[in-house]
């Protein structure tokens, strides 16, 4: 990376806020110091700053504006996420996002794409906020259309393993290097095990997209927590998961297999009010809950990645370094983000975030993508 000392080290002391991949760095608890870390990675973003990534007609300049706001939160790579909807609309949204990726100055931040659904459970609870009438079985022809629309940049597909076609589907997409993620499911232990044996490696927002009442054990949450071959991502906004579940889930997965995601919806970083995710209206309340319009069913989050890292420290008791790991090295591994699996090691992409940390609050002060400064204050 070619940056001047003035650009990177404008404060008296800079600490490297990551470890394991570079385990010689340390932390300071002193206030007002600046930390430098690998840029955050978010593998599930449905929209941001009042911009809907699920609408094929979303103007590309609006997508660019939303990416600019996302960069200001410390995110340097992310996967725009398209959820369950009409086949043509899903392919159209992916094509629109892929075009934006190629044309926008900040398009490189959209490193790949995540398709969440439509091959999920149709039952209330596991289906979450996805529209029931567009839920459908796994279809490799449809998967091929998604890849065509994005120039082969589908990186994650979230599906429910209970579909009879799921094992063959997982085997096929993982041969392409795509991450098969388990989510919005009511699968049995045997079905989850079969999916993992077929190549599934991730649980999508584990603990959510589930029945509000279920048998205490066994159930599909415990089965995924217990499966050591699965990484799991978590929405740490203080709304989707309470502190007790989060702590237990992180202990079960360990810090090696846990990932921070936002599952951000269009209302994230926007004012309270009504917005749309595809064809569905959602409301953002004053207390930052995103719900289906007129209902209490959660429909994504208003979480920013910098606040998610803060919440991991506050709610789960993680160190700053461990919290950053869940948003960087682990996210890169779970989503197969190229050039980022080592944090910051020789040969990796120079995606950096500089931020102040006062022990409870992050203030992002600079962001670089592949060595190019894209945000500063």
pLDDT-above-70 percentage for the chain: 92
pLDDT at 29: 45
What are phi and psi for residue 233, nearest 5 degrees?
-105, 155
Helices 243-253 & 305-316, crossing angle to 10 degrees? 90
Choose between 13 and 259: higher pLDDT: 259
The token duo for 120 is 């999920």
Residue 281 has pLDDT above 50, yes or no: yes
Residue 229 has pLDDT above 80, yes or no: yes
For residues 338-349, average pLDDT:
86
Q: Are 116 and 183 in contact (CB under 8 A)?
A: yes
pLDDT digits (tens, 9 = 90+) for 30-45: 555 899 999 999 999 9
The enclosing H or E element of 93 equals helix 87-103
Beta bridge partners of residue 180, listed in sequence order: 157
In the three-class reduction of DSSP (H, G, I as helix; E, B as strand; rest coil), residue 42 is classed as strand
pLDDT digits (tens, 9 = 90+) for 60-111: 999 999 999 999 999 999 999 999 999 999 999 999 999 999 999 999 999 9
Domain 37-351 homologous superfamily, CATH = Metal-dependent hydrolases (3.20.20.140)
Task: Return the minimum-mean-pLDDT range out of 10-14, 141-145, 260-264.
Answer: 10-14
* CA-wise closest residue to 110 among 78, 136, 142, 84: 78
For residues 348-377, average pLDDT:
96
Name every residue whose Cβ is closer than 8 Å to that of residue 44 and which is 6 or more positions away in sequence: 79, 81, 114, 116, 156, 204, 205, 233, 261, 262, 263, 264
The overall average pLDDT reported for the chain is: 92
pLDDT at 341: 82
The token duo for 302 is 């208003």
Residue 20 has pLDDT above 50, yes or no: no
Q: Strands of the chain (E only): list them.
A: 14-16, 33-38, 40-45, 47-48, 51-52, 75-83, 113-116, 154-159, 179-182, 202-203, 231-235, 258-261, 273-277, 280-284, 290-292, 352-357, 362-369, 372-376
Residue located via tokens 């400064």: 373
Q: Are 116 and 135 in contact (CB under 8 A)?
A: no
Report the alpha-carbon distance of residue 326 to residue 324 in Å, rounded: 5
Q: How far is CA 110 from CA 63, 107, 196, 288, in A?
A: 10, 6, 27, 25
For the residues of 13-27, what is the DSSP string, one character each? -EEE---STTTT---
Cα-based angle 270, 111, 238 (whole degrees, multiple of 5): 40
pLDDT at 344: 80
The token duo for 235 is 């929405």
Q: Are 258 and 250 in contact (CB under 8 A)?
A: yes
pLDDT digits (tens, 9 = 90+) for 187-214: 999 999 999 999 999 999 999 999 999 9
Beta bridge partners of residue 369, listed in sequence order: 372
In the three-class reduction of DSSP (H, G, I as helix; E, B as strand; rest coil), residue 58 is classed as coil
pLDDT at 32: 54
Report the alpha-carbon distance of residue 361 to residue 250 in Å, rounded: 22
For the residues of 132-163, what is the DSSP string, one character each? GGG-----HHHHHHHHHHHTS-EEEEEE-TTS
Nearest-Å Rg of the Cα atoms of the chain is: 19
pLDDT digits (tens, 9 = 90+) for 234-258: 999 999 999 999 999 999 999 999 9
For residues 105-124, average pLDDT:
97
pTM summary value = 0.93
pLDDT at 65: 98
User: pLDDT category, 22, cuts 50, 70, 90?
Assistant: very low
CA 318 to chain centre: 19
């Amino acid at each position: 990376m070619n940056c001047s000392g003035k650009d990177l080290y404008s404060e008296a002391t800079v600490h490297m806020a990551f470890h394991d991949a570079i385990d010689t760095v340390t932390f300071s608890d002193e206030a007002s110091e600046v930390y430098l870390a690998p840029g955050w990675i978010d593998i599930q973003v449905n929209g941001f700053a009042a911009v809907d990534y699920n609408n094929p007609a979303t103007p590309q300049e609006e997508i660019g504006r939303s990416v600019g706001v996302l960069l200001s939160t410390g995110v340097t790579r992310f996967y725009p996420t398209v959820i369950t909807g009409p086949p043509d609309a899903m392919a159209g949204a992916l094509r629109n996002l892929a075009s934006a990726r190629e044309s926008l100055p900040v398009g490189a931040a959209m490193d790949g794409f995540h398709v969440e659904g439509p091959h999920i459970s149709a039952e209330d609870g596991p289906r979450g906020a996805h529209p029931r009438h567009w839920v459908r079985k796994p279809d490799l022809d449809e998967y091929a259309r998604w890849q065509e629309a994005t120039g082969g940049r589908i990186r994650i597909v979230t599906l429910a393993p209970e579909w009879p076609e799921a094992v063959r589907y997982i085997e096929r997409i993982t041969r392409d290097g795509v991450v098969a993620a388990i989510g919005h499911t009511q699968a049995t232990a045997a079905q989850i095990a079969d999916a993992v044996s077929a190549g599934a490696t991730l649980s999508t927002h584990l603990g959510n997209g589930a029945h509000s009442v279920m048998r205490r054990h066994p159930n599909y949450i415990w089965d995924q927590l217990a499966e050591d071959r699965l990484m799991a991502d978590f929405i740490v906004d203080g709304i989707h998961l309470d502190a007790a579940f989060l702590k237990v889930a992180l202990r079960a997965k360990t810090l090696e297999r846990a990932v921070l995601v936002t599952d951000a919806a269009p209302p994230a970083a926007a004012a309270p009010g009504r917005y749309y995710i595809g064809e569905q209206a959602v409301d953002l309340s004053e207390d930052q809950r995103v719900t289906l319009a007129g209902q209490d069913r959660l429909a994504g989050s208003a979480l920013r990645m910098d606040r998610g890292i803060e919440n991991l420290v506050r709610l789960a008791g993680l160190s700053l370094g461990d919290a950053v790991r869940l948003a960087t090295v682990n996210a890169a591994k779970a989503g197969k983000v190229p050039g980022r699996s080592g944090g910051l090691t020789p040969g990796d992409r120079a995606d950096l975030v500089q931020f102040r940390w006062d022990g409870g609050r992050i203030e992002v002060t600079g962001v670089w993508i592949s060595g190019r400064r894209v945000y500063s204050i």
